[in-house]
Chain A
Amino acid sequence: MKLKSDVNDNDLLRLMLAGDEEALALLYRRRQGSVYRFALQMSGSRSIAEDVTQEVFLFLMREGHVFDDSKGTVGAFLLGVARVHVRRRLRAEHRLEPLGDDAEDDDVFMQSATDVCPLEDLTRAETIESVRKAVLSLPPKYREVVVLCELQDVSYGETAEILGCAIGTVRSRLHRGRALLLAKLRPAADVEETGATTVRCFA
């Protein structure tokens, strides 16, 4: 049987669990990009991103029956699994502080990823590289939200499903993550001059 591309993810998953190889292939082609990019943006490593993508779909083959469509979409489920695997890999490689640790927030807030101001006059490629580095240097819990909401264009609701938290938490983490990014991308001299990241005028 030739599967049509308009078959939804839930049906593809069900067919795959019943042993349909074509369903797996179609589901993989449809979802591998977002899983791979998420892992890459979270880790900054192609090899980790490849491994994570493979582990996510192997997990889907073995444990796909645990997916509950009343709790979210297949896409969100896959990104949630990817998130767990990325965290595990990075923790194993000592490249990531444990999630939920807030101690580092204030330290990185004042660090600058670059001495120049990419927001103003650098070339596009340099800007992209600076932003990429700044995103990678964010504390994990903010990085996740920035990657999902800003780079993957996932909605607040779906991000909340993936992270297992409230939408309000997603909003506040995104706000904080963006503030951290700005602080990193702003030249150190500018920070010293103003002495603060934001100035209240109460006008």
Chain B
Amino acid sequence: MNCQRFETVVSELARGQMMAAELRTEALAHSDICDDCAARLGDEQMLTLGLQSLASELESLEAPRELEAKLLEAFRARTVVVPIAKRSNSRYWLAAIAAMLLIAISVVAFRWSNRQGDEPREAIKQEQPKPDVSNKSTEQLAQDVEKPPVEDSLPQQWKPKRVHPVTLRRPNNAAVANHVTKEIATDFIPLSYMSPASLQEGGQIIRVQVPRSALANFGLPVNMDRYNEKVKADVLYGVDGMARAIRFVQ
């Protein structure tokens, strides 16, 4: 055994704790040949004695006697409180039943008044055309979806619990443009020397299919494995019927 190992067992040794007999013998043998470790063991033993003296000094200390009386008094008071608590519980039950009856009556009255109001509303509904969803822009649709539902206006106690709150993200511009077909398109590539002003008068976009090799003419990369396949393209025609620009669509 060396001093490092001795250091790990010296407390146990000094405290007289259970330890392997062999380890104990080795530790004691080491303390016989090492003065520092013998002194260390001596210190630990003195400390143990000091702590034992302190423990025995405090052994007789107890909480004041009046504390027991106070606790027992508190225990009795707590026991006496039980019937009072039971009586107050029955009051709570009565209040709860009354509240439930009130709620039930309110719900019946609310439904009854709604049923009466529904008849003229249904007539109005038949006259009113349904809003044309297809004419709405994507942003309008998104806003419609994002409108707070009626539940949000209800008081907190009436709100139904949401199981999974879903966050609706507003689509970015590119996604808005392609949200229907999920298409990816390049920018328009001009086919002739023209000024953007010439398109102010208006134009028309026609979807066509062109050979994939046409991509190379515009400096776009071509997958040679799919060389023979067609690729979709939007051709922008001016009011004069001339093709102005093209974009490729995937």
Q: Which residues of A contact B (CB under 8 A)?
A: 19, 21, 24-25, 28-29, 32-33, 35-37, 40-41, 49-50, 53-54, 57-58, 61, 118-120, 124, 127-128, 130-132, 135, 146, 150-153, 174-175, 178, 181-182, 185-186, 198-203
CA A32 – CA B50 in complex, angstroms?
25
**Which A residues lie within 8 Å of B34 (CB)?**
201, 203
Q: Tell me if A201 and B3 are in contact (CB < 8 A).
A: yes
CA A118 – CA B50 in complex, angstroms?
9
**Which B residues lie within 8 Å of A33 (CB)?**
61-63
Beta-carbon nearest neighbor of B56 in chain A:
A128
Beta-carbon nearest neighbor of A177 in chain B:
B11
Beta-carbon nearest neighbor of A124 in chain B:
B53
Binds A, one of B38-46, B142-150, B198-206: B38-46
Q: Tell me if A21 and B70 are in contact (CB < 8 A).
A: no
Q: Tell me if A200 and B3 are in contact (CB < 8 A).
A: yes
State the Cβ distance, B131 to closest chain A Cβ, in Å: 60
**Which A residues lie within 8 Å of B53 (CB)?**
124, 127-128, 131
List 15 A-B residue pairs with CB atoms under 8 Å apart, sorted by A's residue number. A29-B68, A32-B68, A33-B63, A37-B61, A118-B50, A127-B53, A130-B50, A182-B43, A182-B47, A186-B43, A198-B7, A199-B3, A201-B36, A203-B33, A203-B34
- Quick one: which of B60-84 are within 8 Å of A by CB? 61-64, 67-68, 70-72, 74-76, 78-79
CA A151 – CA B44 in complex, angstroms?
15
Q: Tell me if B54 and A24 are in contact (CB < 8 A).
A: no
**Which A residues lie within 8 Å of B78 (CB)?**
61
Is B2 part of the contact surface with A, judged by Cβ < 8 Å? Answer: yes
Beta-carbon nearest neighbor of A33 in chain B:
B62
Q: Tell me if A128 and B63 are in contact (CB < 8 A).
A: no
Q: Tell me if B37 and A182 are in contact (CB < 8 A).
A: no
Q: Tell me if B51 and A151 are in contact (CB < 8 A).
A: yes
Q: Tell me if B3 and A53 are in contact (CB < 8 A).
A: no
Given contacts A21-B76, A181-B47, 4 further A-B contacts (CB under 8 A): A21-B75, A150-B52, A151-B55, A203-B37
B61 touches which of A19, A40, A174, A186 (Cβ 8 Å): A40
Q: Tell me if A202 and B11 are in contact (CB < 8 A).
A: no
A54 touches which of B15, B44, B57, B67 (Cβ 8 Å): B67
CA A164 – CA B11 in complex, angstroms?
23
User: DSSP majority for the B interface?
Assistant: helix
CA A37 – CA B40 in complex, angstroms?
30
State the Cβ distance, A107 to closest chain B Cβ, in Å: 21
**Which B residues lie within 8 Å of A198 (CB)?**
3, 7, 36, 40
Known contacts A128-B57, A182-B43; A25 and B62 CB within 8 A of each other: no
Q: Tell me if A50 and B64 are in contact (CB < 8 A).
A: yes
Q: Tell me if B11 and A178 are in contact (CB < 8 A).
A: yes
B55 touches which of A35, A118, A150, A175 (Cβ 8 Å): A150
CA A127 – CA B55 in complex, angstroms?
12
Known contacts A128-B53, A131-B54; A54 and B36 CB within 8 A of each other: no
**Which A residues lie within 8 Å of B46 (CB)?**
119-120
State the Cβ distance, B76 to closest chain A Cβ, in Å: 7
Is B58 part of the contact surface with A, judged by Cβ < 8 Å? Answer: yes
Beta-carbon nearest neighbor of B79 in chain A:
A19
Q: Tell me if B36 and A151 are in contact (CB < 8 A).
A: no
Is B30 part of the contact surface with A, judged by Cβ < 8 Å? Answer: yes
Q: Tell me if A53 and B67 are in contact (CB < 8 A).
A: yes
CA A58 – CA B63 in complex, angstroms?
14
CA A29 – CA B67 in complex, angstroms?
11
Q: Tell me if B62 and A36 are in contact (CB < 8 A).
A: yes
A37 touches which of B58, B75, B79 (Cβ 8 Å): B58
CA A21 – CA B74 in complex, angstroms?
10
State the Cβ distance, A101 to closest chain B Cβ, in Å: 24
State the Cβ distance, B41 to closest chain A Cβ, in Å: 11
Beta-carbon nearest neighbor of A36 in chain B:
B63
**Which B residues lie within 8 Å of A124 (CB)?**
53
B67 touches which of A50, A61, A150 (Cβ 8 Å): A50
Beta-carbon nearest neighbor of B64 in chain A:
A50
CA A138 – CA B74 in complex, angstroms?
36
Closest 3 CB pairs of A and B: A119-B46, A36-B63, A131-B50
State the Cβ distance, A55 to closest chain B Cβ, in Å: 10
